Amino acid sequence: MSVFSSPSFDHHELVTFTEDTASGLKAIIAVHNSNLGPAVGGCRMYPYANDADALEDVLRLSRGMTYKSALAGLPLGGGKAVIIGDHRKHKSKALLEAMGDFINAQGGKYVTAEDSGTCVDDMKVIGSRTEFVSGVDESQSFGGDPSPFTAYGIYCGMKAALAHKLGSDKLDGIKVAVQGAGAVGRYLSELLIKEGALVFVADINQDNLDRAVELGATQVSVDDIIGLDVDVFAPCAMGAVLNDESIATLKASVVAGGANNQLANVSHGEMLRARGILYAPDFVINAGGIIEIHHQISGTPELSNAHVERIGETLREIFKLSDEQSVSTVAVAEQLAEAKFQKVAEGEVNTDNNFGAAALSAAYTSANHD
């Protein structure tokens, strides 16, 4: 396993590994870029098939966090942590404490929070060993859990995508296939059902499915969810679900979901565009969680929802620029993010925490004429 030759290595500032034999912890922390501020990102626990898969995931996820924070107008950089193991079998207090020590040893270069396979209670244990943890604010709604805010951002972004593609942001009667009914997928399903959407869910966990069905969703198999005849496909499970084979089966006209790294590679953004499918880039639409984390850290929770709602505005401008330039939405979004964090690296002061439509257009124009 080589870091520098990894396909997903992108001049990362820090990639560090640990193994604690006493607790069974095997983990990797990656910091992609800290030009805009300290690197913040969740701690994922997953039973990776091998070390190389874990490395690829943490490299891609940390890079995505850099782009996510930049386009959300946050003074944060991008980082991520992965723990190799099944959270249902291998998680323990000792393992989480060892993870806290590992994070603390980075001296603040990386700040952690919840992710797939970890929760608020886990962050409390990690936080007993390090100050560099967020998502545990008991005074906030949901106990500091950012998942509902991620779901709310997807909801706002989905409405923007529907307005652009179908001419209306009304959800009443809209069919949505939600792949993954965990925390984000469940909260998203609830928001959509309340607006009159017809929601179909698939998950490998029956308990997750049962909770979604209680909300009014219809259960379908994991094999059928991607190709379901719906208006919107919302991937809210693991990444790389959009590839040559799956894109060919899509019947949805919009892809808008919460999973990170939904595209197997960047070329699949163009493949979606060629098929006439509007793709809301994952690192834009799923930024609600990191926005909430930022407001927990900064002590301004009352501003969180309004900030999350600006995801829709950002996506509307990305869709517009994509149409004008005849390029994929993900290509536009990446250029916009790079224009922001790279200019800060060149000495510009980061004063723009509201990256609205005018700023997006200006950044895109600048990026294409430099």
Q: What pLDDT was estimated at residue 367? A: 45
Closest by CA to 17, choosing from 5, 29, 1, is 29
Domain 147-285 has CATH 3.40.50.720: yes
Which one of the listed residues 80, 109, 165, 343 is annotated catalytic? 80
Backbone torsion region of residue 270, taken as left when φ is above 0, otherwise alpha when ψ lies between -120 and 50, otherwise beta: alpha
pTM of the model: 0.89
pLDDT at 353 (0 to 100): 44
Res 364: pLDDT: 42
List the structure tokens of 287. Answer: 């930024």
Same fold, 14-136 and 147-285: yes
Query: What beta strand segments (E) does the chain contain?
Result: 14-20, 25-33, 39-40, 43-46, 77-84, 110-111, 175-179, 198-202, 218-219, 232-235, 254-255, 278-279
pLDDT value, residue 136: 75
pLDDT score for 189: 98
Active-site residue flag, 170: no
Q: How many CA atoms lie within 13 A of 177 on its CB side?
A: 23
Distances (CA, A) of 294 to 71, 172, 239, 288, 333: 14, 32, 24, 10, 21
Task: Return the amino acid letter for 334.
Answer: E
Do residues 229 and 251 touch, judged by C-beta distance below 8 A? yes
Give the residue extent of every domain in the chain. Answer: 14-136, 147-285, 290-367
Report which of 82, 69, 27 is spatially closest to residue 291, judged by C-alpha positions. Answer: 69
Tally the C-alpha atoms within 13 A of residue 245's C-alpha that lie toward its C-beta.
Answer: 3
Q: Which CATH superfamily is domain 14-136 in?
A: Leucine Dehydrogenase, chain A, domain 1 (3.40.50.10860)
User: Tens digit of pLDDT per residue, the chain (370 long)?
Assistant: 689 989 899 999 999 999 999 999 999 999 999 999 999 999 999 999 999 999 999 999 999 999 999 999 999 999 999 999 999 999 999 999 999 999 999 999 999 999 999 999 999 999 999 999 987 766 555 567 889 999 999 999 999 999 999 999 999 999 999 999 999 999 999 999 999 999 999 999 999 999 999 999 999 999 999 999 999 999 999 889 999 999 999 999 999 999 999 999 999 999 999 999 999 999 999 999 999 999 988 888 788 999 999 999 999 999 999 999 999 999 999 999 999 888 665 555 444 444 444 444 444 444 454 4
